[in-house]
């Protein structure tokens, strides 16, 4: 065999090897791509299944924690309801449902009537059944209300503490940030929203505020959305001997409107908070 034939034969051999290696590599790449696509689709499918299961679990939890007809399961658990005041009914002694009014005005509110508080300690609202309310606030509870704030500074919308004598307060700061405050009888602790949101800034209109306390952890919702920024444990709250007041105390007096106040002796779920907020019709008329 001539040298040329040998070279041609060798060249063909190595060309065959090269083609074989090329097709092997190509096969590996194609197989890897198919495997990757399959894995991605499988992962997305698994996430959809997980999301669906979590949604079902969330709905089930909600059904167990409400007695609303449209969300009941076969054996609904009735939730005790403590107090509420929409300020839409009155009696001769100025007691509206469970709130006693002290020299404050009733005006057009977010829904029906609201209470107008003018940053005057002599003009306020006071919840009745003090012992039951204070016991409730020392455990799991939820507080919801509509607020339309007018004044600046640090103000307390609802409170039975001056920050140092035990109890609870719903406070809003100068920038509209919101605080869930509790006192151990000597000092106070705050869970709060961020400072930039202006959630309850003066003149910003009506907002639905919900405080949910569960196992010493507080969540703050604004217009149905959880806006909690900083958390601290509130397990050391001390029972207060003071009544639950609308309008704050000496250095934290609130000026503005409050409406549709609810206090429950259990922790609302996020879904319940959202549904409560969605249950109100949009407000269209300006406050008086």
Percent of the chain with pLDDT over 70: 72
pLDDT value of residue 100: 80
What average pLDDT score do residues 78-82 get? 43
Rg (alpha carbons) of the chain, rounded to whole number: 31
- The Cα–Cα gap between 17 and 37 comes to 30
Q: Nearest CA to 109 among 121, 96, 122? A: 96
| Number of residues that make up the chain | 288
Contacts of 155 (CB under 8 A, 6+ apart): 119, 149, 171, 172, 248, 252, 253, 254, 255
Percent of the chain with pLDDT over 90: 41
CATH code of the domain occupying 82-278: 2.60.120.200
- Angle (CA) 64-235-165 rounded to 5° is 125
Helix (H) or strand (E) holding 188, with range, is strand 188-193
Residue 228 has pLDDT above 70, yes or no: yes
pLDDT value of residue 274: 95
- pTM (whole model) above 0.85: no
pLDDT value of residue 132: 80
Least confident span in 49-63, 178-192, 257-271:
49-63
pLDDT value of residue 187: 94
Mean pLDDT of the chain: 78
- The Cα–Cα gap between 171 and 182 comes to 10
In the chain, domain spans: 1-78, 82-278
Task: Tell me which of 191 and 103 has the higher pLDDT.
Answer: 191
Task: Tell me which of 23 and 149 has the higher pLDDT.
Answer: 149
- The Cα–Cα gap between 98 and 70 comes to 27
pLDDT value of residue 4: 59
Backbone angles phi, psi at 76, to 5 degrees: -65, 145
8 A C-beta contact, residue 57 and residue 50: no
Contacts of 160 (CB under 8 A, 6+ apart): 133, 134, 137, 167, 168, 169, 240, 242, 243, 244, 245
Query: Per residue in 151-177, pLDDT tens?
Result: 999 999 999 988 888 999 999 999 999
Matching residue, tokens 């939730």: 79
Helices (H), 65-166: 130-137
pLDDT value of residue 134: 83
Query: Per residue in 43-60, pLDDT tens?
Result: 555 445 544 544 444 333
pLDDT value of residue 1: 52
Task: Tell me which of 173 and 130 has the higher pLDDT.
Answer: 173
Angle between helical axes of 3-64 and 270-278 (0-180°, round to 10): 70
């Amino acid at each position: 065999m001539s040298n040329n034939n040998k070279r041609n034969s060798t060249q063909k051999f190595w060309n065959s090897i090269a083609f074989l290696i090329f097709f092997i590599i190509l096969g590996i790449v194609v197989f890897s791509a198919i495997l990757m696509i399959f894995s991605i689709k499988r992962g997305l499918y698994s996430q959809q299944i997980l999301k669906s299961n979590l949604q079902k679990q969330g709905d089930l939890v909600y059904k167990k924690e409400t007695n609303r007809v449209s969300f009941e399961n076969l054996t609904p658990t009735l939730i005790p309801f403590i107090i509420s005041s929409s300020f839409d009914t009155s009696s001769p002694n100025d007691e509206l449902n469970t709130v006693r009014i002290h020299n404050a005005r009733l005006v057009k509110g977010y829904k029906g009537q609201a209470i107008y508080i003018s940053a005057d300690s002599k003009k306020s609202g006071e919840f009745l059944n003090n012992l039951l309310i204070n016991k409730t606030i020392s455990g799991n509870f939820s507080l919801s209300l509509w607020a339309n704030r007018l004044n600046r500074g640090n103000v307390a919308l609802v409170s039975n503490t001056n920050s140092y004598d035990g109890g609870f307060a719903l406070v809003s700061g100068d920038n509209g940030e919101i605080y869930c405050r509790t006192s151990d009888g000597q000092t106070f602790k705050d869970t709060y929203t961020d400072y930039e949101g202006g959630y309850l800034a003066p003149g910003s209109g009506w907002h639905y505020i919900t405080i949910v306390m569960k196992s010493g952890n507080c969540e703050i919702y604004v217009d149905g959305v959880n806006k909690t920024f900083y958390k601290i444990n509130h397990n050391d709250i001390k029972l207060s001997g003071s009544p639950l007041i609308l309008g704050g105390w000496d250095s934290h007096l609130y000026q503005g409107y409050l409406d549709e106040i609810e206090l429950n002796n259990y922790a609302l779920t996020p879904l319940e908070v959202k549904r409560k907020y969605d249950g109100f019709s949009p407000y269209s008329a300006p406050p008086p």
